[in-house]
Amino acid sequence: MLYGRVGETAQLEELLAKARQGHSAAFVVRGEAGIGKSGLLEHAALQATTHGMRLLRATGIEAESELPFAGLHLLLHRVTDRIDDLPQPQAKALRTALGLATGDARADRFLIGLAVLTLLADLADPAEEGSLLCLVDDAQWLDQASADALLFAARRLAAEGVVMVFAARDAHAPPFPAQGLPELRLTGLDDEAAGELLAEHAGDLPAYVREQIRSESGGNPLALRELPAAQREGHIPAYGHHLSSLPSHSRLLRTFADRMSALPRATRSLLVVAAAEGTGDLTVTAAAASKLGATVTDLEPAERKELLSLDGGRLTFRHPLIRAAAYQSAPVGERIAAHRALADALPCVGNIDRRAWHLAAATTEPDEYVAGILEQTAEHARARGGYAAVAAACERAAQLSPDGTHRARRLALAASAAADAGQNERAAELALRAAPHLTDPAVLAQLAQVRAAVAREQGRLDASYSVLLDTAAEIAPHTPETAAFMAYEAMTAAWLSGHRQSIDEISARLAGLDLKTPPHALPYLPAAQGLARLAAGDPGSGLPPLRALFDSLRAERHDRGHTLRERVSIASWFAPLGDLETGNDLAAELDRECREQGALGPLPLVLLMRTRARIFLGRHSCALTGAAEGLRIAQDTGQPHYVGQLSGVLAYLAALEGDEERCRELAAKGELRQVMPGQVWGGIAIAMLELGLGRHAAALRAYEDVAASPSGHTIVVLYCVPDRVEAAVRTGRADSVREPARVFAAWADHTGAAWARALAARCRALLAPEAEAGAAYEEAIALHTDDGRPFERARTELLFGEWLRRAGRRSEARTPLRSALDTFELLAAPPWAERARAELRATGESRARHTGDAAPLERLTPQERQVVRLAATGMTNRDIGAQLFLSPRTVGYHLYNAYPKLGVASRGELGRLAFRDQEDQEDQEEGTPA
């Protein structure tokens, strides 16, 4: 019976009731050891089975915390027959992770989480047992791979009828971070509930002793049960003063240790072996204990004291603290002997990994044999996709390596694996330890890229380009092609950081490297120098080498000769080249490739790149959809660098809509981490907001602040020059923007892009004397024809119409103003539509504000819009879920919500919807698997 947990049990029961109606939930129960977390989970399990819910349970095991996907296997071992029903890439990834299939699990580590999500949704199918409850106790002992997969699934639950509950210890155990999940924190029982529990378990003790125990227990239920037993056995005095000043965790450990000290020696030895073994395997424990002079019959004294029991052929400690006390109270020599005995007792077949870790625990000095089998264990973990386990095994192997070369190599392997596992700080620390002792150029390059990626993710772009450039210089004589790529990456990081001095220094150092790359190599080094010239304001010499690199990627786009990360890096330079359509096409290809492979890690960057292209092309609705998905995935995968940038991009889209509150909120998030790209987007979002709302002085200040920032040379800022020119002219400060306008015009000429030259002509019109402005506006309008940027064309038409009206040519002004108004309304840009409407009214023509229903897709949330587009192509919920990283049930939930908004009754009617613009149709086609 649970005492004093009425509120907590009611909360659980309500969630379970909602799950039976198709809703999902996930949360973490936290509290100190013995506070009642397991009891609450037991109550949930009883309620679930009583109401016919399916139940999956697992408990984290400390001894298996370094074995990849051990916890996931415990949870899913009874339902592995359902894995083959998953989409093929998910099924393959999950079967490999669980050791049910051999092969190299090179899929993104989050694909396994998606497979878990889909499997849980399938198990909660109403056509079968219905809703599902998943309980994970002692979650702090989950291996990292299992924790990542389960938390990924938990964060994406929506409408599956699944409840996931994790119980994790607060202190004296590894942390269990579960960002994004709500928490239920358990504290001690109140006096009344504690008294009731004592009455049941300590009714034979005098009242003053019970009161003493109640006072000292802090309301901890385990202490309220165990301290009476310890008092009866004479391990604590029945005096009317404090038992001790220790916290409950330490007090309980000491109590258990004291009770064990009175056991026979053989029983204590067996308890140490059982605690070190950890999984409850009686056969292995008995075999190991026999080597130390103990037998299974020696369990009896511990069983009588209810410290341990034999249940279904497995040894079970009644509480994890008892196991901890058995292990920690034993002398170091006895613990080492226990691990060595266990390593000897484990059968070789199927137990290589466990045996390796027991040998490692029993080894106190360098030992190449043990280090070697640990490295072998790491390779097993890598094949299953358990990168955190790879890192742990390689790091311990390095510690045990007698040879310095092997030690450094294993540290490098650990650093790379830690980065793959998302453990950035650990990866950086391991890389620092390994780097000074390495000579292999390939390993040095790999380590440098790990350190640079970690620094970039942490917003330390200066550290990122420093380590890349230093390593490029070191390996240049040996591997010039790799050195050239790293030099290019260093220049890219410096470009993003905005440090002009660093860009110049890198350029000078590159010139001194005298790299002679093979003829077939991509032109990384010239592109790096091109970026330096572009930053210096010389597009004439800066753009051609960038174009050569970009075109080389286009030429091999179907060859897949370079890594995904390399291709993304190269494709991102579409913006300096002004090649928006090609950039969008390349981003679409990379987007599809990420989804086909289940590669969620790089997807936020790809979606950011694609969103930027869509914004520049004026395809705001699709940009919003992609940015919202990118932000969600960046949060799920723990990539705050891209969270900041995508928040800034979403702020810009909110500015176009005139949503001031949301714009400022998102812009602030974009600047939170003080990462330069996020700051730039947040800054220009505020500037665009002010410009759209007619607050030109505030807009100019915001544009000037961004231009004066370290990132003032970047392409995003260059793209804003026409906006800055408009704000300056409106406030009578035209002279302040003549130089930026000149730089923009020079850049536009060198790109050859019609849209860029159209905007340069618009700037000339704004800055020209009245008598000359008309010709420049007409030139801009002509260049805008079919340039693929409707929003910018409409803005040019608005400015031209204003100029015509001021010149007294009101009837002529109506034509461009009508066109501008139509476009702004179509693009859902209310502030700009209102400006066009006001200008049209000033010409003597009234146009009523658009009050009809929004275009069908505009009524949907970004995720509903994605789902509807794909459903309209005939894709099934399962296919859509696999592509959008959602469960099929959540896809159905979004469709159910979308139908009434769209005025349709079924999936079959989606095909007749009139999509809002051509880009919607293109995206729909792009989303269809080839």
Question: Residue 245: which residues within 8 A CB-CB, separation 6 or more?
Answer: none
Question: Does residue 56 surpass a pLDDT of 50?
Answer: yes
Q: How confident is the model at residue 908 (pLDDT cuts 50, 70, 90)?
A: confident
Average pLDDT over residues 683-712: 92
CA distances from 189 to 215, 222, 244 (A): 11, 11, 20
Look over the chain and give the mean of its residue pLDDT values, rounded to a whole number: 87
pLDDT tens, position by position, 793-821: 999 999 999 999 999 999 999 999 999 99
Number of domains in the chain: 6
Residue 434 inside a domain? The answer is no
Of 307, 338, 361, the one marking the end of a domain is 361
Residue 383 inside a domain? The answer is no
Residue 167 inside a domain? The answer is yes
Question: Does residue 543 surpass a pLDDT of 90?
Answer: yes
Distance separating alpha carbons of residues 213 and 596, to the nearest angstrom:
60
Question: Residue 661: which residues within 8 A CB-CB, separation 6 or more?
Answer: none
Q: Which amino acid type is present at position 789?
A: R
Distance separating alpha carbons of residues 864 and 628, to the nearest angstrom:
11
Question: Does residue 907 surpass a pLDDT of 80?
Answer: yes
Residue 811 inside a domain? The answer is no
Q: Which amino acid type is present at position 786?
A: D
Please answer whether residues 693 and 705 qualify as being in contact, where contact means their C-beta atoms are separated by less than 8 angstroms: no
Question: Does residue 852 surpass a pLDDT of 80?
Answer: no
Task: Identify whether residues 195 and 169 lie together within a single domain.
Answer: no
Q: Give the 3-state secondary structure of residue 178.
A: coil
Q: How confident is the model at residue 99 (pLDDT cuts 50, 70, 90)?
A: confident
Q: How confident is the model at residue 917 (pLDDT cuts 50, 70, 90)?
A: very low
Question: Does residue 920 surpass a pLDDT of 70?
Answer: no
Residue 251 inside a domain? The answer is yes
Question: Does residue 529 surpass a pLDDT of 80?
Answer: yes
Task: Identify whether residues 286 and 329 lie together within a single domain.
Answer: yes
Distance separating alpha carbons of residues 126 and 158, to the nearest angstrom:
15
Query: Phi then psi for 168, rounded to 5 degrees?
Result: -135, 140
Task: Identify whether residues 549 and 621 lie together within a single domain.
Answer: no
Cα angle 177, 183, 188; round to 5: 110
Task: Identify whether residues 20 and 37 lie together within a single domain.
Answer: yes
Q: Which domain holds residue 866?
A: 859-926
Average pLDDT over residues 354-358: 92
pLDDT tens, position by position, 409-454: 999 999 988 888 878 788 888 988 988 888 888 888 888 888 888 8
Percent of the chain with pLDDT over 90: 49
Residue positions counted in the chain: 930
Q: What is the pLDDT of residue 240?
A: 41
Query: Phi then psi for 233, rounded to 5 degrees?
Result: -85, 0
Q: What does 517-580 look like in DSSP terms, one character per residue?
A: --TTS--HHHHHHHHHHHHTT-HHHHHHHHHHHHHHHHHTTTT--S-HHHHHHHHTTHHHHT-H
pLDDT tens, position by position, 563-581: 777 888 889 899 999 999 9
Average pLDDT over residues 162-179: 92
Residue 368 inside a domain? The answer is no
Of 533, 557, 581, the one marking the end of a domain is 557
Q: Which amino acid type is present at position 653?
A: L
Task: Identify whether residues 127 and 27 lie together within a single domain.
Answer: yes
Could you give the dihedral angle defined by the CA atoms of residues 212, 215, 220 and 226, in that order, rounded to the nearest 10 degrees? Answer: -10
Average pLDDT over residues 83-89: 89
Average pLDDT over residues 592-621: 86
Average pLDDT over residues 182-211: 89
Task: Identify whether residues 210 and 331 lie together within a single domain.
Answer: no
Q: What is the pLDDT of residue 210?
A: 85
Q: Which amino acid type is present at position 822?
A: D
Q: How confident is the model at residue 386 (pLDDT cuts 50, 70, 90)?
A: confident
Task: Identify whether residues 153 and 240 lie together within a single domain.
Answer: no
What is the residue whose two structure tokens read 């000149």?
Answer: 742
Task: Identify whether residues 249 and 280 lie together within a single domain.
Answer: no
Task: Identify whether residues 34 and 143 lie together within a single domain.
Answer: yes
Q: What is the pLDDT of residue 29?
A: 97
Q: What is the pLDDT of residue 202?
A: 86
Q: Which amino acid type is present at position 728?
A: A
pLDDT tens, position by position, 310-340: 887 889 998 888 898 899 899 999 999 999 9
Question: Does residue 463 surpass a pLDDT of 90?
Answer: no
Q: What is the pLDDT of residue 882?
A: 82
Residue 416 inside a domain? The answer is no
Q: What is the pLDDT of residue 924?
A: 43
Question: Does residue 246 surpass a pLDDT of 70?
Answer: no
Please answer whether residues 13 and 163 qualify as being in contact, where contact means their C-beta atoms are separated by less than 8 angstroms: no
Question: Does residue 843 surpass a pLDDT of 80?
Answer: yes
Question: Does residue 684 surpass a pLDDT of 60?
Answer: yes
Of the two residues 263 and 173, the one the predictor is more confident about is: 263
Closest CA to 745 of 575, 540, 548, 582: 540
Q: What is the pLDDT of residue 227?
A: 83
The CATH number covering residue 607 comes to 1.25.40.10
Percent of the chain with pLDDT over 70: 92
Task: Identify whether residues 41 and 132 lie together within a single domain.
Answer: yes
Q: How confident is the model at residue 918 (pLDDT cuts 50, 70, 90)?
A: very low
The CATH number covering residue 127 comes to 3.40.50.300
Of 702, 725, 743, the one marking the end of a domain is 702
Please answer whether residues 898 and 868 qualify as being in contact, where contact means their C-beta atoms are separated by less than 8 angstroms: yes
Task: Identify whether residues 483 and 627 lie together within a single domain.
Answer: no
The CATH number covering residue 489 comes to 1.25.40
Distance separating alpha carbons of residues 68 and 143, to the nearest angstrom:
6
What is the residue whose two structure tokens read 């993304």?
Answer: 568
Q: How confident is the model at residue 103 (pLDDT cuts 50, 70, 90)?
A: low
Q: What is the pLDDT of residue 609?
A: 93
Please answer whether residues 713 and 498 qualify as being in contact, where contact means their C-beta atoms are separated by less than 8 angstroms: yes
Enter the tokens of residue 605: 């960057």
Q: What is the pLDDT of residue 899?
A: 87
Average pLDDT over residues 863-890: 86
Question: Does residue 101 surpass a pLDDT of 90?
Answer: no
Q: What is the pLDDT of residue 414?
A: 93
What is the residue whose two structure tokens read 């890389």?
Answer: 431
Please answer whether residues 593 and 599 qualify as being in contact, where contact means their C-beta atoms are separated by less than 8 angstroms: yes
Q: How confident is the model at residue 670 (pLDDT cuts 50, 70, 90)?
A: low
Residue 818 inside a domain? The answer is no
Q: How confident is the model at residue 710 (pLDDT cuts 50, 70, 90)?
A: confident
Closest CA to 861 of 895, 907, 912: 895
Task: Identify whether residues 155 and 214 lie together within a single domain.
Answer: no
Enter the tokens of residue 684: 């220009």
Q: What is the pLDDT of residue 515?
A: 75
Q: What is the pLDDT of residue 663?
A: 94
The CATH number covering residue 878 comes to 1.10.10.10
Q: How confident is the model at residue 916 (pLDDT cuts 50, 70, 90)?
A: very low
Q: Which helix (H) or strand (E) holds 825?
A: helix 810-826
Of the two residues 515 and 658, the one the predictor is more confident about is: 658
Average pLDDT over residues 828-837: 92
Q: What is the pLDDT of residue 929?
A: 35
Question: Residue 85: which residues within 8 A CB-CB, separation 6 or more?
Answer: 91, 122
Enter the tokens of residue 822: 């139509």
Q: What is the pLDDT of residue 149?
A: 93
Looking at 42-51, 392-401, 529-538, which range is the least confident one? 529-538
